[in-house]
Structure 1
């Protein structure tokens, strides 16, 4: 019962397919693992452990739980030219590369056509759910900031690229036939442009020309949308000139982009150029998305995990528009979707889709035993790490995401993304997680609301070179009033330091206040544009523009050196937080 939407189905049939999918979770998951084991029965990896027995119980008893380090030698053998059946009976058609900005190292993960089909399925079902909740969502166009990263190759000639790049270059994207694949303001040529700066400019130019048709503004991640607005701030005058003269800027050298954008520009339009100028010339850019694209019904991007830090910035730019965080997927697998797209960004949970892969869950903080349960057996309120078994050759693979069960849609569990495993700061015996840091900085951000300052990006590290060691947070700030020079208030920022500490964990506060084994928290304010420079560094190391996420806890010494060279001022908490 591995259900797929029929693209020719009507609304009622699609709804029934979704209901069947989420009611029959156990049956679908059992069929999924049985099929994966049957298809891959003769692979070297499975035979090593199962010796010809491929029932679910034997699989659970004999296949080990693995991390990337365990499977890396098998992946590298295929990358170097050995047949795919080392791990997968289906051909490995390429490799995805994780961003590497969270855990510090990029991972090479196997990919086959099943993965691309799952992405297509997820896009379809997400679009269907959006249409159920937002009237008129399908009656216009999406201004979608989509990009590719040029692929590299392995020694055997297989392509290595971002998962999104594979999808955008596949027939699944090129041949969009479903009435639930929303029309975009940007032609495919702009998405496939190899220069991300040219692509960003052309996305904006096409979106501005078609502003009345735009019903949603979209990107993979919240950080990408924020960067798009920052890019618009820098280039709006040039964009207006292009619209006024019906001419594309000469530095747009990609021929395919120039041709398709020129066609969309049409005739000179000084009236539209003047209107855009009037909006962009205003003192504040609050609500700029609604002002430039007046028929926009919602903003769509991922705002969970590391992306939560951008929620307030997006709310400032989008005013009262809903911010929709629809899907949950990674380089390892497609996981699920948000069945309640109009919920608050802070309340997003993802319903796992049972026909994407076989999912197991490792209970977090289980002291006495390694407790692993199936998808249908997770318990409300409990925290789990996901294990994935896929057609592409990952078996009981630890993804590294920590999730909490928040509810159920029919029989399909819903999960809140909590944090990445092992992404934390520590000076002494305390462990401060990514989730705790994000929450603490969110409270400190509230201190800024009464001022003209807004926090645009941040990252942290534990400085153990001092005695005692202390937490350092790099902040990039900007003025809400774009005509004002950035003015820093010492008292305000000192209060921000204290507010962060006040909202960290009990053990941190005790070590900081009573025992003195942790020094005062420090905020280092960096020059505008510094975090773009950090992003460019990671991209130069192989990260994808569309995948890039500013790490909450920074581990790269080179990236830290970049930040340090751009520090403007330093502030310290002027008193220890209450220990309890």
Structure 2
């Protein structure tokens, strides 16, 4: 019977049938790949491995360190620092000093030019962008082994957690990516560089995600978000939404709120709005995948016209989970998502990590704020008690010696060539999982305000700003940044050093002087040293300025261009360190 219909349809019909069969085969391949992926996750092997490691954390850490020293002992760096003489943890700490990025800068430059056996055996898999210990852009090596371990100890564990807690979420999920580049940039020696490593063992996870639209060749981040959102909206059965960062997901929902009429029309007609200036070939590829769907378009319009609070759950009724980083500088973005677009859906911050390696994983997807179990096999960890962290070579504690409730600066030694490296992150120990500490990420040390030595951390300032905002009737904090007045020199507008604070608010158009002063009063309440300097008159009052929400998008773009870091991995700047950034946001003040 099938052969009869093929002959009846003729040449054109043959092509049509071939296309249909091709799509059906591709669909079956995706289904089979997803089934295999879910079956692998259901075994929970990586979670079991983590549980075993955390029950014997001291031994796992020591074994990892000694193996790394032996493995790297014949490199130029290992011979120079006498790795062969380091027989245990204490000798390693005695013979090798604490380091910062500048200790490795020349080595990494040589690696990027193709020299081998410098920091690590052979050459690295990639050189990844990092903020470094000073907050300025830098690159660190990543090996195939370290990339695989980051996946196994980070992503794989978190996916196993999701599969256990929200099994339906993984049946149909979408990831909003932050880049449209099909290939990474290359160093002088052809080593991939950029914000993320080349595909490795995590490749199997591609089966979990809905087929991505063809966005290669698009250079505009707005266009990438729009196209990804268009395809996500077409699928009413999504069970999970993922993005690397909460601020990226906020951008997605901002685009939805601003362009919902255009998106609904594109779904209705099966084409992409001409207002989106796409390369013609890319437009044709995308529109080939769009089938007109008037019913879905009408359903979406009905939801959009009632407002955008809880919109995620209304347009995707089966949505069980939203995944995005929600710690540190992303806490405000995560809270806004929880209160508005993603209301009623758990927001899971799965991994605490950096280019230098995965640090911890979150085993409790419904708890907020997130806390992370330190991964004992990822790197050798040391902790500097916060009170002595200003010394160049302070004493450190090992993972088995930290205490609950205390704050520490993190130090790592990894298998990619960084040893006793002061990462620049400050964490609080909130408890223990078996023998492994539970970490709450607080802030980057480079994001600390200080005009007289008073030192107010980013998370401390943010919490105080939230407290003050609640005393402004009707005001909702949308975004903020701050700067020390000294960055502006004689243009700072006053003789006493002070903080310049820029906020975007919803619900109010202006603030009285008394309302603005509430932030200064709150800082005095929460920080005794700041209060003392204010009382003496050696620090001037905080100056609060109102700007529009879109000002922060422009600020992030400028921050990326000034630092040389990719826009993809440049978060909204909170503490401004470049004069150009402060001047830019000042020009956008309206009150």
| Deviations 1:124-157, CA, capped at 9 Å, x for gaps | 1101112223353223323434435674443334
Task: Please say if residues 143 and 186 of structure 1, whose CA atoms lie closer than 8 Å, have aligned partners that are also in contact.
Answer: no
Equivalences, count? 541
- Shift in Å, 1:7: 7.7
Q: Distance in 2 between matches of 1:56 and 1:148?
A: 46
| Deviations 1:160-205, CA, capped at 9 Å, x for gaps | 2112xx24xx1434x416xxx7722352744896542322111101
Aligned residue number for residue 130 of structure 1: 162
- The correspondence of residues 406-425 of structure 1 with structure 2, limited to 5 A, is 406-425=430-449
Task: Please say if residues 173 and 209 of structure 2, whose CA atoms lie closer than 8 Å, have aligned partners that are also in contact.
Answer: yes
Aligned residue number for residue 242 of structure 2: 218
- The correspondence of residues 99-114 of structure 1 with structure 2, limited to 5 A, is 99=131, 103-114=134-145
Q: Distance in 2 between matches of 1:429 and 1:372?
A: 24
- Find the structure with the greater CA-based Rg: 2
User: Residue 298 of structure 1: which of 317, 321, 328 is its match?
Assistant: 321
Q: Secondary structure at the match of 1:88?
A: coil
Task: Please say if residues 150 and 357 of structure 2, whose CA atoms lie closer than 8 Å, have aligned partners that are also in contact.
Answer: no
Aligned residue number for residue 29 of structure 1: 61
User: Residue 544 of structure 1: which of 553, 558, 566 is its match?
Assistant: 566
Moved more, 311-320 or 548-557: 311-320
Q: Distance in 1 between matches of 2:40 and 2:457?
A: 46
| Deviations 1:109-130, CA, capped at 9 Å, x for gaps | 1122123213321211101112
Aligned residue number for residue 149 of structure 2: 118
Higher relative contact order (CA 8 A, sep 6+): 1
Q: Distance in 1 between matches of 2:278 and 2:86?
A: 55
Aligned residue number for residue 373 of structure 1: 397
Aligned residue number for residue 490 of structure 1: 512
Q: Distance in 1 between matches of 2:567 and 2:119?
A: 30
- Unaligned 5+ segments in structure 2 are 1-36, 487-491
Task: Please say if residues 376 and 411 of structure 1, whose CA atoms lie closer than 8 Å, have aligned partners that are also in contact.
Answer: yes
1:113–1:441: structure 2 CA closer, same or farther, 3 Å change rule?
A: same
**TM-score for the superposition, normalised by structure 1:** 0.86
Task: Please say if residues 187 and 260 of structure 1, whose CA atoms lie closer than 8 Å, have aligned partners that are also in contact.
Answer: no
Aligned residue number for residue 468 of structure 1: 496
Aligned residue number for residue 55 of structure 1: 87
Aligned residue number for residue 172 of structure 1: 201
Moved more, 64-73 or 544-553: 544-553
Q: Distance in 2 between matches of 1:275 and 1:499?
A: 49
- The correspondence of residues 306-317 of structure 1 with structure 2, limited to 5 A, is 306-314=329-337, 315-317=339-341
Confirm or deny that 1:75 pairs with 2:108. yes
Task: Please say if residues 206 and 261 of structure 1, whose CA atoms lie closer than 8 Å, have aligned partners that are also in contact.
Answer: no
User: Residue 42 of structure 1: which of 74, 87, 96 is its match?
Assistant: 74
Q: Secondary structure at the match of 1:527?
A: coil
Task: Please say if residues 126 and 326 of structure 1, whose CA atoms lie closer than 8 Å, have aligned partners that are also in contact.
Answer: yes
Aligned residue number for residue 18 of structure 1: 50
Q: Distance in 2 between matches of 1:135 and 1:366?
A: 46
Q: Secondary structure at the match of 1:329?
A: strand
Q: Distance in 1 between matches of 2:453 and 2:124?
A: 44
Q: Distance in 1 between matches of 2:547 and 2:425?
A: 30
Task: Please say if residues 70 and 83 of structure 2, whose CA atoms lie closer than 8 Å, have aligned partners that are also in contact.
Answer: no
Q: Distance in 2 between matches of 1:160 and 1:49?
A: 27
1:526–1:10: structure 2 CA closer, same or farther, 3 Å change rule?
A: closer
Task: Please say if residues 171 and 239 of structure 2, whose CA atoms lie closer than 8 Å, have aligned partners that are also in contact.
Answer: yes
- The correspondence of residues 161-560 of structure 1 with structure 2, limited to 5 A, is 161-163=194-196, 166-167=197-198, 170-173=199-202, 175-176=203-204, 183-187=208-212, 189-190=214-215, 195-210=220-235, 212-250=236-274, 251=276, 253=278, 258=283, 261-262=286-287, 264-266=289-291, 268-282=292-306, 284-314=307-337, 315-345=339-369, 348-366=370-388, 370-448=394-472, 450-451=473-474, 453-464=475-486, 465=492, 466-478=494-506, 487-490=509-512, 493-494=515-516, 497-498=519-520, 500-512=522-534, 514-541=535-562, 542-560=564-582
1:224–1:55: structure 2 CA closer, same or farther, 3 Å change rule?
A: same
Moved more, 425-434 or 486-495: 486-495
Task: Please say if residues 206 and 264 of structure 1, whose CA atoms lie closer than 8 Å, have aligned partners that are also in contact.
Answer: no
- Shift in Å, 1:285: 2.2
Q: Distance in 2 between matches of 1:182 and 1:344?
A: 29
| Greater share of residues in helix | 2
Task: Please say if residues 524 and 530 of structure 2, whose CA atoms lie closer than 8 Å, have aligned partners that are also in contact.
Answer: no
1:199–1:94: structure 2 CA closer, same or farther, 3 Å change rule?
A: same
| Deviations 1:71-105, CA, capped at 9 Å, x for gaps | 11211222234x231110142233111257x9541
Q: Distance in 2 between matches of 1:6 and 1:296?
A: 18
Task: Please say if residues 103 and 423 of structure 1, whose CA atoms lie closer than 8 Å, have aligned partners that are also in contact.
Answer: no
Task: Please say if residues 482 and 499 of structure 2, whose CA atoms lie closer than 8 Å, have aligned partners that are also in contact.
Answer: yes
Q: Secondary structure at the match of 1:137?
A: helix
Task: Please say if residues 186 and 207 of structure 1, whose CA atoms lie closer than 8 Å, have aligned partners that are also in contact.
Answer: no
Task: Please say if residues 44 and 86 of structure 1, whose CA atoms lie closer than 8 Å, have aligned partners that are also in contact.
Answer: yes
- Shift in Å, 1:307: 1.1
Q: Secondary structure at the match of 1:488?
A: coil
Q: Distance in 1 between matches of 2:305 and 2:520?
A: 36
**TM-score for the superposition, normalised by structure 2:** 0.84
Structure 1 vs Structure 2 CA RMSD: 2.8
Task: Please say if residues 270 and 290 of structure 2, whose CA atoms lie closer than 8 Å, have aligned partners that are also in contact.
Answer: yes
Task: Please say if residues 70 and 84 of structure 2, whose CA atoms lie closer than 8 Å, have aligned partners that are also in contact.
Answer: no
